[in-house]
Chain A
């Protein structure tokens, strides 16, 4: 269990706060698009997947991670600052990546976020590579690859799992199984949807957890992280339900209202709230206040992000290569070079 989780005498309340912040954040992401217009059109919300906060709480400072196109929640739970996140999502210079990456490429080396990825499964081997660095250099850290169930059908995952097991690397593969790869439900993508069972085939420690029970997620992830830290990499699958469509324009025509109602019944935030009240670990008014605080934080973050400006034109050519390296030649300069010679 992480320092944060261990230090707290009310871990469920902390997890509830994190999950509430994630949900409030994601709601503002949707609002941002409406208020700002075009920038950052590729928005994939993690509402319904907030139980992943339990995995994040099991990580230590110094651990690193990669995420996928639906990774806002993980980043926020690992220390992402909502204003700078929203600024990045909106293509603003004040964002984490100077407005060059956006939602699907957000990263923060400061908290060990090695990058979100817009290619399904694309970031998974980077976590393995980070773990290779840790092992080679004798650094005590684990790298966690977060991805969705869609990536369970990508070959690169299995190359990565095999190498991690073969070399006994400190890696945890975390599949956030929200039941859908875009509009394709997992039973239309795989004959055997028992994804955790695939771990054993590769020599990984396999674990499965219900993502609507964040305490169980924390407990299971803490065990998986301990195992990974000792050099036995693992695969943790967390089932949940993607409450909304794949992305902004998706109205989910491929699933019916009854299924959605059932799926949204597995709400990790509501479940944690009910449990807190049931166990008298918090009062209704306290939780309402906490919810309001999260909403205010995210409102302020959104207002701040919307007030930020896009990067200046010259930033186009920054960071294609390292600062002291020959940069690309801007088109106008090149055209001037060519045409000036004849005039």
Chain B
């Protein structure tokens, strides 16, 4: 921690990152629905229009595909747009412009140009927002070569990963978590938690490894607390970046203890947890004492009923139960 360290919310850190990037680089513009006068549906872009004006903080019509498509063209011709898609659930409307255009232009054009843009969006449960405003769709983006995908869990990462994303030559899908906007933490503008692409060990532990990202890092840490009371020490790794992704430190950690779980809020089938599990299994096969387990969201649309919504994703209690079972073969009550 340096002298510049301060306490901030995740939302404030994001806003600071945008403002600092816009001050540093006149080509950075912010565009999206309600990013200007309204200040952003979750307040991330509040007051930016006052400092930077309507030409650089561009309120758009409700035209998600168009927003991303315009950002692609702007990025190819000298601007560095931050296109906001209000909810990641609207990805279906933008996937052509993102997956077929932004992601592939550098390749299809033989490297003549890149698409240096950031698509900011947010996902996840926690506000009883139901099936079309609560999903975790990172695996859709991570499946497309050409897209970088990052998902900050902490205040400091919210700031630094967004600043770093705004220096990258390729399109970055930056997925925030709606339940983290009010979370508080230390923001040290002079000190990123780790380099771009590297995971961070949020808690050390020698009995098992938990890999998570975004909000699930916090659920995993809470689970690790209760596990410690039960005599199980779990390491918690925060992946931070799904692409690029440096898994080596995590693999080393898994080899040392032979037990690993991947925790995602995203539903199980075909999800990024499967990719992580497969890679850990491939690389740590002869050091694993137990199968790598996936603790993921239920394979259901997110229900609006708060109790059902909360039950549809991994909780600290569930994670702790599963980890205890994995480590000490002590079956939980529900098994």
Interface contact B106-A156, CB-CB below 8 Å: no
Interface contact B244-A133, CB-CB below 8 Å: no
Within 8 Å by CB of B108, from A115, A125, A128, A328, lies A115
Given the known inter-chain contacts A64-B77, A129-B70, A160-B69, please indicate yes or no for A341 contacting B109, CB distance below 8 A.
no
User: How near does chain A come to B202, taking the closest CB pair, in angstroms?
Assistant: 23
Of B36-44, B152-160, B218-226, B279-287, the stretch lying at the interface with chain A is B279-287
Chain A residue contacts of B58, Cβ below 8 A? 167
Of A42-50, A258-266, A317-325, the stretch lying at the interface with chain B is A317-325
- Give a binary string over B26-39; 1 marks a CB under 8 Å from any A CB, 0 the rest: 01010000000000
Interface contact B77-A98, CB-CB below 8 Å: no
Interface contact A100-B244, CB-CB below 8 Å: no
Given the known inter-chain contacts A100-B107, A129-B74, A319-B107, please indicate yes or no for A326 contacting B244, CB distance below 8 A.
yes
- Does A330 make an interface contact (CB < 8 A)? no
Interface contact A155-B65, CB-CB below 8 Å: yes
Q: Which of A122, A126, A325 has the most CB of B within 10 A?
A: A126
Chain A residue contacts of B112, Cβ below 8 A? 96-97, 107-109
Interface contact A163-B169, CB-CB below 8 Å: no
Interface residues of B in 32-72 (CB under 8 A from A): 55-56, 58, 60-61, 63, 65-66, 68-72
Complex: how many Å from CA A324 to CA B56? 29
For A88, give the chain B residue with the smallest CB separation.
B110
Interface contact A320-B145, CB-CB below 8 Å: yes
- Does A127 make an interface contact (CB < 8 A)? yes
Interface contact A163-B60, CB-CB below 8 Å: yes
For B55, give the chain A residue with the smallest CB separation.
A136
Count of chain A residues near B, Cβ 8 A = 55
Complex: how many Å from CA A229 to CA B165? 33
- Does A196 make an interface contact (CB < 8 A)? no
Q: Which of B100, B107, B110 has the most CB of A within 10 A?
A: B110
User: How near does chain B come to A9, taking the closest CB pair, in angstroms?
Assistant: 35
> What's the interface size class on B, roughly?
35 or more
For A109, give the chain B residue with the smallest CB separation.
B112
Complex: how many Å from CA A159 to CA B62? 9
Complex: how many Å from CA A322 to CA B106? 8
Given the known inter-chain contacts A132-B73, A163-B66, A342-B285, please indicate yes or no for A126 contacting B111, CB distance below 8 A.
no
User: How near does chain A come to B78, taking the closest CB pair, in angstroms?
Assistant: 5
- Does B101 make an interface contact (CB < 8 A)? yes
Within 8 Å by CB of A159, from B63, B79, B283, lies B63
- Does B217 make an interface contact (CB < 8 A)? no
Complex: how many Å from CA A206 to CA B64? 25
Complex: how many Å from CA A99 to CA B111? 11
Chain B residue contacts of A134, Cβ below 8 A? 77
Interface contact A133-B282, CB-CB below 8 Å: no
Interface residues of B in 82-123 (CB under 8 A from A): 96-97, 100-101, 104-114
Interface residues of A in 75-108 (CB under 8 A from B): 95-101, 105, 107-108
Interface residues of A in 159-183 (CB under 8 A from B): 159-160, 162-163, 166-167
Interface contact A125-B65, CB-CB below 8 Å: yes
Complex: how many Å from CA A95 to CA B244? 30
- Does B16 make an interface contact (CB < 8 A)? no
- Does A151 make an interface contact (CB < 8 A)? no
Chain B residue contacts of A286, Cβ below 8 A? none
Interface contact A322-B73, CB-CB below 8 Å: no
Given the known inter-chain contacts A155-B65, A320-B145, A337-B283, please indicate yes or no for A129 contacting B113, CB distance below 8 A.
no
Interface contact B74-A130, CB-CB below 8 Å: yes
Q: Which of A96, A114, A131, A337 has the most CB of B within 10 A?
A: A114
User: How near does chain B come to A131, taking the closest CB pair, in angstroms?
Assistant: 8
User: How near does chain A come to B328, taking the closest CB pair, in angstroms?
Assistant: 28
Given the known inter-chain contacts A105-B108, A163-B61, please indicate yes or no for A321 contacting B78, CB distance below 8 A.
no
Chain B residue contacts of A279, Cβ below 8 A? none
Complex: how many Å from CA A279 to CA B61? 51
- Does B314 make an interface contact (CB < 8 A)? no
Interface contact B100-A119, CB-CB below 8 Å: yes
Interface contact B100-A122, CB-CB below 8 Å: yes
Within 8 Å by CB of A322, from B66, B70, B169, lies B169
Chain B residue contacts of A188, Cβ below 8 A? none
In the complex, given contacts A159-B69, A163-B61, A321-B148, what are 13 additional A-B residue pairs having Cβ atoms less than 8 angstroms apart? A95-B110, A98-B111, A100-B107, A105-B109, A122-B97, A125-B68, A126-B70, A129-B74, A129-B76, A130-B76, A321-B106, A322-B114, A324-B169
A-B residue pairs, 9 tightest by C-beta: A129-B73, A125-B69, A159-B66, A126-B73, A98-B110, A97-B110, A322-B169, A159-B63, A105-B108
A-B contacts, 24 listed (Cβ < 8 Å): A64-B77, A97-B108, A97-B112, A105-B109, A109-B109, A117-B101, A119-B101, A124-B69, A125-B65, A125-B70, A126-B73, A130-B74, A130-B76, A131-B73, A132-B79, A155-B65, A160-B69, A163-B63, A319-B106, A320-B107, A321-B170, A322-B170, A323-B111, A325-B244
